């Protein structure tokens, strides 16, 4: 579907927007009820739908953003955003879905797949959670410093997939959303997880953008640390010296780490290479795949430095990433893949090692860092864990880094908050169709789909933090 087709179905205006949360029980949906309904959905695969049986498609059979309720809330311009900012409860009681591109790909039927509609349908059908769409590919990205605090005040933020390649700026052809603008937005989202913020779920290109922005944030941190000659109230200079020693180690590793593929090719050397975090996968991956628990590479065979492998082993042993636990409890988890590019496992192993080093160095000096120009470092994740790989039915690994858990450890309470990234599309059913192009799936159909259950589990877990 093209941009002009989307516009032709956009019939709602701000005056049509619901000002009370919920559609199946309008005005009666809140955080507690939504969370209970998500938990009810997950407890088994057989229980009946506890919500009223109300059609989510419009009377004319269309299920499209901006056409009718419950998909009426679309941020098409600054005026729409300003209206939402004046009604903060709309953000607080909704999922905000960010579209980097007009669709996530073309399926085998030749259909453009606008997967954001699936996210909205699943959330509304299962837990009567409203959704707000921000199609940045058509609206442009308004100042992230202003927007991110608002959108992260809700139930969750979902960054959807798309066609462009993270490593190639020329593929970001929507004039209102150049690649650098997406980097700025995702970087801001990555350093916005707090006790009062929503989890972010990055899907497909969102997963790849998060990986690239981990490296960008770490480079920025290293460059700023090494550029300083002093810190206020760091009387003996110990805080800055400690940080600079760690930054120098991270820089040395980042500049020399090689990215190698399974066929032996070296596709990148050093963190300044466009293909360091994301590159073309060995083969395009479309259709059902099996999720396998991630296994650390052998340092000797892979050439990956032992210390970054070890750091990830520690992260995996001390953090729980939801997806990995799900795989352990289920006999087999089947998931829908729809991508040509992949996140490099070496880059994520490196990011985890670097984040852990920075976090641990800050701990004894956090009162000094908190009042300095480096205070933003406190908002960085403390770890990022690779949770799973995807494999064909015969067990052959296709994508090593298929999902990650981004961990944020509070310096004072020691509590962990999490966001998640998935190369796969948990919101797509096996037919790889956007809801609206296909029939509306029933509650029972959603309840028995591995991907949908996994998506709901991420929402359920993230909302608890």
What is the 8-class DSSP label of residue 16?
A: G
Q: Are 97 and 158 in contact (CB under 8 A)?
A: yes
pTM strictly above 0.75: yes
User: What is the pLDDT confidence band of residue 3, given thresholds at 50, 70 and 90?
Assistant: very low
C-alpha dist (Å) from residue 361 to 311, 378, 417: 15, 11, 20
Q: pLDDT for 185-235, tens place per residue?
A: 999 999 999 988 999 999 999 999 999 999 999 999 999 999 999 999 999
Q: Are 424 and 109 in contact (CB under 8 A)?
A: no
Give Rg (Cα) of the chain.
Answer: 22
Q: Are 100 and 137 in contact (CB under 8 A)?
A: yes
Which residue from 378, 411, 407, 373 is spatially nearest to 223, judged by alpha carbons? 373
User: What is the pLDDT confidence band of residue 390, given thresholds at 50, 70 and 90?
Assistant: confident
Q: What are the sequence ranges of the domains in the chain?
A: 3-204+427-463, 210-422
Residues 6+ apart with CB under 8 A from 202: 159, 186, 209, 210, 419, 420, 421, 422
Q: Are 214 and 351 in contact (CB under 8 A)?
A: yes
- Mean pLDDT to the nearest integer, 61-82: 96
Q: Is the peptide bond prior to 70 cis by the omega test (within 30 degrees of 0)?
A: yes
Q: pLDDT for 132-175, tens place per residue?
A: 999 999 999 988 999 999 999 999 999 999 989 999 999 999 99
């Amino acid at each position: 579907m093209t941009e002009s087709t989307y516009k032709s179905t956009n019939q709602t205006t701000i005056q049509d927007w619901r000002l009370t949360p919920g559609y199946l029980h309008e005005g009666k949906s809140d955080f507690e009820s939504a969370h209970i309904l998500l938990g009810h959905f997950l407890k088994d695969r057989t229980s009946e739908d506890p919500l009223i049986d109300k059609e989510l498609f419009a009377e004319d059979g269309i299920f499209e953003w901006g056409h009718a309720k419950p998909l009426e809330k679309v941020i098409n311009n600054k005026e729409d955003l300003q209206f939402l900012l004046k009604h903060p409860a709309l953000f607080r009681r909704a999922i905000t879905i960010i579209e980097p591109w007009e669709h996530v790909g073309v399926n085998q039927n030749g259909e453009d797949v606008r997967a954001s509609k699936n996210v909205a349908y699943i959330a509304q059908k299962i837990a009567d959670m409203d959704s707000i769409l921000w199609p940045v590919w058509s609206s442009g990205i308004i100042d992230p410093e202003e927007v991110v605090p608002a959108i992260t005040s809700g139930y969750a933020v979902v960054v959807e997939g798309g066609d462009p390649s993270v490593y190639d700026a020329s593929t970001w052809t929507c004039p209102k959303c150049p690649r650098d603008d997406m980097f700025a937005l995702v970087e801001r989202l990555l350093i916005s997880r707090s006790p009062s913020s929503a989890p972010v779920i990055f899907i497909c290109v969102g997963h790849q953008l998060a990986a690239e922005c981990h490296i960008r944030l770490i480079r920025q941190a290293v460059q700023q640390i090494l550029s300083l000659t002093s810190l206020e109230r760091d009387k003996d200079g110990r805080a800055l010296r400690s940080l600079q020693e760690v930054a120098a180690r991270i820089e040395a590793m980042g500049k020399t780490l090689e990215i190698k593929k399974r066929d032996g090719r070296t596709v990148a050397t050093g963190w300044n290479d466009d293909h360091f975090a994301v590159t073309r996968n060995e083969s395009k991956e479309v259709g059902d795949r099996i999720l396998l628990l991630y296994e650390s590479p052998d340092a000797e065979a892979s050439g990956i430095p032992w210390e970054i492998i070890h750091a990830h082993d520690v992260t995996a042993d001390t953090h729980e990433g939801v997806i990995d636990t799900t795989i352990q409890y289920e006999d087999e988890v089947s998931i829908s893949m729809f991508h040509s590019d992949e996140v490099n496992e070496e880059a994520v192993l490196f990011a985890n090692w670097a984040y852990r080093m920075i976090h641990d160095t800050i701990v004894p000096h956090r009162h000094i860092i908190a009042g300095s120009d480096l205070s933003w470092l406190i908002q960085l994740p403390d770890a990022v864990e690779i949770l799973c790989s995807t494999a064909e039915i015969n067990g052959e690994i296709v994508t090593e880094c298929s999902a990650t858990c981004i961990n944020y450890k509070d310096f004072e309470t020691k509590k962990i908050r999490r966001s998640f990234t998935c190369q796969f599309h948990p919101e797509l059913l096996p037919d790889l169709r956007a809801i609206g192009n296909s029939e509306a799936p029933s509650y029972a159909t959603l309840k028995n789909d591995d991907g949908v259950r996994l998506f709901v589990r991420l929402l359920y877990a993230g909302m608890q933090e």
